[in-house]
């Protein structure tokens, strides 16, 4: 059995070890490459304050870059008996370099090590999620423009209300993603601060240059107060989880609409055949399983912020092992959301629209407000016009004019999609992912 970094003369009970380590080795595989990047920045800083000499820095840098390449190639494992990714990397360095490998931990704790790993992981995953959100946004805008003149009923209380359009329907979800992107950007800014150097939460007697590691890792700024840096564990995950949950909420509502609109009783859309499933007994069935599963998966993601809250809300300041459990739900959530977004983008792109919905007499009454407004426009007081049309409907004498002329901003005839796209692009440009990409390239020695 491997010796723990912290173990002295007493060996921990096997069941206690199994219980406390839990799924940490599995979860830490998400963080492996980021642990190496954090270590590359840390040792570069250690050399400038005299805790490593130039030769030792070069040895450690070369070895860490080799380990990083092994991680990327899928050859890295956390061995049995090794607690976590931090211990595995340090063990590999010590095997390759001897005592020099043991110097890498000077001036830090596994507490701030996992903090920086999480920040780097989250930052990269937010960028990836943004790419998937952008693909869905573009698909929604494209469909909004393509079908902007196709009318469908709008509903209140699930009762036919007023004319809407596929342009409005698709475009509404596109604009919802604008707000979701804004919240993702806020979560990114909270994430993009450097906790490294806070050690166990109370700093270090070594003269650490935290500004240097901030620059080397491409962070916007520091988490300055070392106690607060540790308090950020759990809080950051909760904020980011809420941003992911917002995207999930938008997609869940879209999925519900799509399931409803695809049903025979509505018949507004037809899903691509290859994205539907059949029944074992009813040969006519084409089930919207993708959207049904999307709805449930999104609802599960919306529970994540509350799960993290329940783990953290009764903890005082300082580090506690409770925080480890957050990884198990939080780290996989990014992949789950990206999988959802990929499927929904394909569905939205391939959906077929019924362009004759408004011709169905079941929806004649959605044009009643149009008639009231026409009469009011011609000079009849609005309340008189409202009463006249209401009486015509009761008498079965209402005859709809199935044309609409909405011109104000955001209406059927003036979707403002170009303004929605402009808002989206403006937020997207403010993320500045290039800064951290360049920092990583320098750490890995890939910059020309």
Query: Catalytic residues, which ones?
Result: 157, 279
- What is the distance between the alpha carbons of residues 413 and 406, in angstroms, rounded to a whole number? 5
Nearest to 115 by CA among 333, 319, 322: 319
Query: Mapping DSSP to helix (H, G, I), strand (E, B) and coil, where does residue 163 land?
Result: strand
- Beta-strand ranges (E) seen in 231-300 are 269-270
- What is the distance between the alpha carbons of residues 10 and 1, in angstroms, rounded to a whole number? 13
Q: Where are the alpha helices (DSSP H) in 352-412?
A: 368-377, 382-394
User: 156 and 84 in contact (C-beta within 8 Å)?
Assistant: no
- What is the distance between the alpha carbons of residues 268 and 247, in angstroms, rounded to a whole number? 24
Token readout for 78 is 């956390």
Contacts of 129 (CB under 8 A, 6+ apart): 184, 244, 247, 334, 337, 338, 341
Kind plus residue range of the DSSP H or E element containing 438 = helix 434-443
- What is the distance between the alpha carbons of residues 301 and 248, in angstroms, rounded to a whole number? 7
- φ/ψ bin of 431: left (φ > 0), alpha (ψ from -120 to 50), beta (otherwise): alpha
User: 32 and 85 in contact (C-beta within 8 Å)?
Assistant: yes
Question: Nearest 5°: CA angle at 181, between 180 and 185?
Answer: 120
- What is the distance between the alpha carbons of residues 93 and 214, in angstroms, rounded to a whole number? 24
- What is the distance between the alpha carbons of residues 87 and 89, in angstroms, rounded to a whole number? 6
- What is the distance between the alpha carbons of residues 133 and 180, in angstroms, rounded to a whole number? 9
Report how far apart the first and last C-alpha atoms of the chain are (Å, whole number). 44
User: 171 and 254 in contact (C-beta within 8 Å)?
Assistant: no
- Which whole-number Å values give the CA distances from 96 to 2, 52, 81, 362, in the listed order? 17, 17, 19, 76
- What is the distance between the alpha carbons of residues 367 and 390, in angstroms, rounded to a whole number? 12
């Amino acid at each position: 059995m491997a010796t723990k970094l912290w173990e002295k003369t007493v060996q921990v009970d096997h069941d206690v070890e199994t219980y406390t380590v839990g799924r940490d080795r599995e979860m830490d595989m998400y963080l492996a490459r980021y642990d190496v990047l954090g270590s590359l920045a840390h040792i570069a800083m250690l050399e400038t304050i005299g805790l490593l000499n130039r030769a030792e820095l070069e040895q450690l840098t070369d070895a860490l870059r080799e380990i990083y390449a092994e991680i990327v190639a899928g050859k890295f494992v956390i061995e049995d008996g090794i607690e976590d990714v931090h211990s595995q990397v340090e063990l590999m360095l010590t095997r390759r370099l001897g005592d020099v490998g043991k110097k890498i931990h000077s001036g830090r704790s596994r507490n701030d090590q996992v903090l920086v790993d999480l920040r780097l992981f989250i930052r990269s995953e937010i960028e990836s999620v943004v790419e998937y959100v952008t693909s869905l946004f573009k698909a929604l805008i494209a469909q909004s423009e393509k079908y902007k003149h196709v009318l469908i009923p709008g509903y209140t209380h699930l009762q036919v209300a007023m004319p809407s359009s596929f342009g409005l329907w698709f475009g509404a979800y596109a604009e919802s993603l604008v707000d979701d992107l804004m919240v993702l950007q806020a979560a990114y800014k909270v994430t993009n601060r450097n906790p490294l150097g806070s050690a166990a939460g109370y700093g270090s007697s070594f003269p650490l240059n935290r500004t240097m590691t901030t620059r080397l890792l491409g962070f916007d700024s520091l988490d300055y107060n070392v106690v607060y840096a540790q308090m950020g564990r759990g809080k950051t995950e909760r904020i980011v989880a809420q941003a992911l949950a917002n995207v999930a909420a938008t997609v869940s509502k879209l999925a519900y609409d799509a399931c409803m609109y695809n049903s025979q009783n509505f018949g507004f859309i037809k899903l691509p055949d290859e994205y539907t499933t059949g029944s074992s007994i009813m040969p006519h069935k084409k089930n919207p399983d993708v959207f049904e599963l999307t709805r449930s998966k999104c609802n599960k993601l919306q529970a994540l912020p509350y799960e993290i809250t329940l783990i953290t809300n009764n903890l005082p300041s300082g580090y506690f092992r409770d925080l480890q459990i957050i990884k198990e739900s939080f780290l996989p959530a990014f992949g789950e959301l990206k999988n959802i977004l990929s499927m929904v983008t394909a569905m939205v792109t391939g959906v077929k629209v019924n362009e004759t919905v408004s011709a169905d007499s079941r929806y004649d009454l959605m044009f009643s407000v149009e008639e009231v407004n026409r009469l009011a426009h011609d000079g009849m007081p609005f309340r008189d016009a409202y009463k006249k049309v209401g009486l015509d409907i009761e008498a079965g004498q209402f005859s709809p004019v199935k044309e609409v002329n909405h011109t104000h901003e955001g209406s059927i005839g003036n979707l403002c999609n170009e303004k929605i796209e402009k808002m989206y692009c403006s937020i997207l440009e403010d993320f500045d992912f290039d800064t951290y990409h360049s920092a990583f390239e320098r750490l890995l020695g890939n910059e020309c």
